[in-house]
Amino acid sequence: MDKKFNWLAPLAAALLVACVGWWADWEIRQAMQQELANDLRGIRDADVTSLEIWMADQKRLAAMLAEEPRLRTLASQLLTLSYTEGGSRPLAASVSRQLIFGDRLQQRLSSLGYRLAQLVNTNFVVVLDSGHNRIGEKVAEELQPKYAELFSSSEAIVIPPFKIKLVENPGWARGRPGGRPPGQARELTVMQVATPIKDTNNVTCGALVLVINPDVEFTRLLSVARSGESGETFAFDSEGVLISRSRFDKQLKELGLLENSTNASSALTLRLSDPGGDLTEGYQMDTNGVRPLMRMIGQALEGGSGLTVEPFRDYRGVPVIGAWNWLPKYGFGVGTKIDAHEAYRTLRMLRGVFVILFLLLVLASLGVLLFSYRQVLLSRRFSEAQLKARKLGQYQLVEKIGEGGMGVVYKAHHALLRRETALKLLPPHLADAPAVQRFEREVRLTCQLTHPNTIQVYDYGRTPEGIFYYAMEYLDGLTLADLVIRYGPQPEGRVIFLLRQICESLGEAHALGLVHRDIKPSNIFVCDRGGLPDMVKVLDFGLVKTFGGTPAMEDAADIVGTPSYMSPEAVEDPALVDARSDLYSLGAVGYFLLTGQRVFNAETLAQIRQLRLTGTPTWPGARIGKPLCPHLEALVMRCLDRDPARRPQSTRDLLECLESSPQAADWTAARRTQWWTTHRDLISQMHQTESSPLERASAVDVEVTGRTP
């Protein structure tokens, strides 16, 4: 490999590491996500199975109690008594005492882990309450459909956690350590398991209801299996409300999602909604709007089970991943989740290692690149010093006056002819085959042109060191771009005078079947030469294309030129470019000279091209806000017509129109001489101030930036 490409090796290695790292990251992420999915699925299924087994046990235990002969006999007596008859009340009270105290019902319930027991008849009326004074009350309306299902199916049911307000029985309150004063109401979170009670005819006459403290069994079961340090399994109802206690109750109080009191619980209080941002990181939640449910809750309520390993926000706003299952048989769902930060910790560590390796290789590549660039600079400076110290054939190099993508331009002195020339060199490091071909083509085509308004080429050759060069006339002046930038829009008479000379130069090229393709202000030089002030020289024939016949290989239909001055056909179909395309560009130059602005102002190449194809130029006078010669203004706009057929068809046509303009004679020889007399010294000082030997740029520099081949 060439030494100048040594810096590519570490860069290629860095690119290879990046590709391998991307592939490894993808593979590891896929494997990790699969593993996480399996873990979440396993925890969810284990928790659901545990709950189902526990609820089945509760129903079986309740059924066993209901089948005990004495309890069944006493319970059926209570359930069949009519409470509308006053005489039934003493009997009911007597049976209740026998059931509660004689059979030690409450004592047995406590040993089995139940809070209390109730008997509910088929009219949904509580006829026995072992712990609270609710005899004669009806069960809550929202629970009645579940009891109706039990009475019709004679199958035990489990009712998920719900809240009730109760007044404690004095005896029960005294039996509870720390119990509330008798008769004081309080709110409880309870679950129920209910099983049918059948009379002697084996007909369901009511239900035995066992009341469960959900925090003792239900929530505890959900907290047994969880993933990682931040994992949590919970249950929720059809409204998306948490029905088990969150393991983050303390944090929820700090975040303001729960009341900051000792007895406050998230169960049946917290709606599992997405706050819109991470509350633990200081995000301020909008408390006015209705927030959507967490993604997993919303999908669970649509039915079935699922999981996702793509992070979503939980009720704290923390990014998590999770799995869920809706249990239609019981009317609630179960979800399990883990913080995404913990779940993907290993992946982040691996990514960090790959990033460090990649950055190290990039730094190594940049180091080699800087070293190579420094070597190239030293080599160039050494070459320049060699060139400056010796003659190049008959040419004594004086100073560098320009540099572009296609070579370096020096001011030189011919030893025998004793005249100043501009010497364009193609150094060896730029002399690949396409560059040499284009360099030679530029010389060959320019040599065919002899018009005084076209820059003249004197000589061409190659040194023993492999440096291609050609000599052309040395010009002392400024480009039309510099002219407008420094002195503003030009008088109409001067514009006509300059455009006529450009037409003369292009007329010779067009007659030979050549189109310039890069007419623009920076490629047109104006100077005081041979006693002729304001003399124009057309530069840079490096993009010349043949037309009117079969194009040469180098004239392939590529989009070339400077976008701001290209004709529409040069953008749409470069193969259609002909002499009229140069006249479009010449119209754009005239527009620039009259207004000091380009035809279209756009920031990107794509915008310029689009405006060139579809936009309509603003007339020059309207652009600068003052009237201009109608004849000249209309002629410029005619040159800028998108249809080549409506433009002047040749340089001769355009030249005749310019000569017939009312201002054609305004820019007299006396005015031209006076202008150059006034500004010649200032222009020379400008060049001296802006440059130094081997660094100064001048308008002879062949500009290649800002145009596209």
Does residue 14 have a pLDDT over 60?
Answer: yes
How far apart, in whole angstroms, are the C-alpha atoms of residue 306 and residue 592?
67
Among 442-446, 488-492, 549-553, 672-676, whose mean pLDDT is lowest?
Answer: 549-553
Provide CATH 1.10.510.10 ranges for the chain.
476-690
Among 53-57, 133-137, 150-154, 481-485, whose mean pLDDT is lowest?
Answer: 133-137
Neighbours of 554 (CB within 10 A): 13
Residue 408: the pLDDT is: 80
Rounded-to-10 torsion of CA 448, 452, 453, 458: 50
Does residue 82 have a pLDDT over 80?
Answer: no
* Residue type present at position 148: A
How far apart, in whole angstroms, are the C-alpha atoms of residue 568 and residue 600?
13
Among 110-124, 367-381, 595-609, 610-624, whose mean pLDDT is lowest?
Answer: 367-381
Q: What is the pLDDT of residues 200-232, one digit of tens each?
A: 888 999 999 998 888 877 888 887 777 778 999
The pLDDT of 411-435, averaged and rounded, is: 78
Most confident among 188-192, 245-249, 592-596 (mean pLDDT): 592-596
How far apart, in whole angstroms, are the C-alpha atoms of residue 510 and residue 503?
10
Q: What is the pLDDT of residues 310-339, one digit of tens each?
A: 999 999 999 999 999 999 888 899 999 999
Q: At what angle do helices 579-595 and 651-659 cross, to 10 degrees?
A: 30
Among 295-299, 392-396, 645-649, whose mean pLDDT is lowest?
Answer: 392-396
Does residue 135 have a pLDDT over 50?
Answer: yes
Name the helix (H) or strand (E) containing 480: helix 480-487
How far apart, in whole angstroms, are the C-alpha atoms of residue 12 and residue 211?
71
Q: Tell me if 521 sits within 8 A of 672, measured CB to CB.
A: no
Does residue 174 have a pLDDT over 60?
Answer: no
Does residue 427 have a pLDDT over 80?
Answer: no
Does residue 687 have a pLDDT over 70?
Answer: no
Percent of the chain with pLDDT over 70: 81
Q: Tell me if 130 sits within 8 A of 105, measured CB to CB.
A: yes
Residue 559: the pLDDT is: 52
Q: 371 versus 503: which is more confidently predicted?
A: 503
Nearest residue to 268 via CA among 155, 164, 115, 380? 164
Residue 164: the pLDDT is: 79
Q: What phi and psi, each to the nearest 5 degrees, are found at residue 313?
A: -85, 140
Task: Say which residue the tokens 């030690």 belong to.
Answer: 104
Q: List residues with catalytic annotation.
A: 518
Nearest residue to 445 via CA among 343, 361, 546, 348? 546
Give 702's pLDDT tier (boundaries 50, 70, 90). Answer: very low
Does residue 694 have a pLDDT over 90?
Answer: no
Residue 704: the pLDDT is: 32
Give 173's pLDDT tier (boundaries 50, 70, 90). Answer: very low
Provide CATH 3.30.450.20 ranges for the chain.
68-212
Among 417-421, 447-451, 470-474, 516-520, whose mean pLDDT is lowest?
Answer: 417-421
Residue 24: the pLDDT is: 79
CATH number given to 390-474: 3.30.200.20
- Candidates 3.30.70.330, 3.30.450.20, 3.40.50.800, 3.40.47.10; correct CATH number of 68-212? 3.30.450.20
Q: 701 versus 406: which is more confidently predicted?
A: 406
Does residue 11 have a pLDDT over 80?
Answer: no
The pLDDT of 435-449, averaged and rounded, is: 79
Neighbours of 179 (CB within 10 A): 13
Percent of the chain with pLDDT over 90: 33
Residue 406: the pLDDT is: 66
How far apart, in whole angstroms, are the C-alpha atoms of residue 157 and residue 146?
8
Neighbours of 188 (CB within 10 A): 14
Neighbours of 550 (CB within 10 A): 6
Give 674's pLDDT tier (boundaries 50, 70, 90). Answer: very high
Burial 648-660 (b: 16+ CB within 10 A, else e): bebbeebbebbee
* Residue type present at position 39: D
Q: Tell me if 444 sits within 8 A of 450, measured CB to CB.
A: no
Q: 690 versus 43: which is more confidently predicted?
A: 43
Does residue 187 have a pLDDT over 80?
Answer: no
- Candidates 1.10.730, 3.40.50, 3.30.450, 3.30.70; correct CATH number of 226-343? 3.30.450
How far apart, in whole angstroms, are the C-alpha atoms of residue 573 and residue 557?
7
Does residue 81 have a pLDDT over 50?
Answer: yes
Sorted by sequence, the CB contacts under 8 Å of residue 647 that are 6+ apart come out as 580, 583, 584, 587, 638, 639, 641
Superfamily of domain 476-690: Transferase(Phosphotransferase) domain 1 (1.10.510.10)
Q: What is the pLDDT of residues 612-664, one digit of tens each?
A: 777 788 999 999 999 999 999 999 999 999 899 999 999 999 999 999 999 98
Residue 405: the pLDDT is: 61
DSSP states of 25-85 as a string?
Answer: HHHHHHHHHHHHHHHHHHHHHHHHHHHHHHHHHHHHHHHHHHH-HHHHHHHHHHHHS-TTS
Q: Tell me if 438 sits within 8 A of 542, measured CB to CB.
A: yes
Residue 91: the pLDDT is: 61
Q: Is residue 549 packed enough to be buried (19+ CB in 10 Å), middle (13-18) or exposed (0-12)? A: exposed
* Residue type present at position 585: S
Residue 347: the pLDDT is: 82
Q: Tell me if 593 sits within 8 A of 498, measured CB to CB.
A: yes
The pLDDT of 533-548, averaged and rounded, is: 76
The pLDDT of 408-430, averaged and rounded, is: 80
- Please, what is the average pLDDT of the chain? 81
Among 128-142, 157-171, 472-486, whose mean pLDDT is lowest?
Answer: 157-171
Residue 317: the pLDDT is: 93
Strand partners, 532: 529
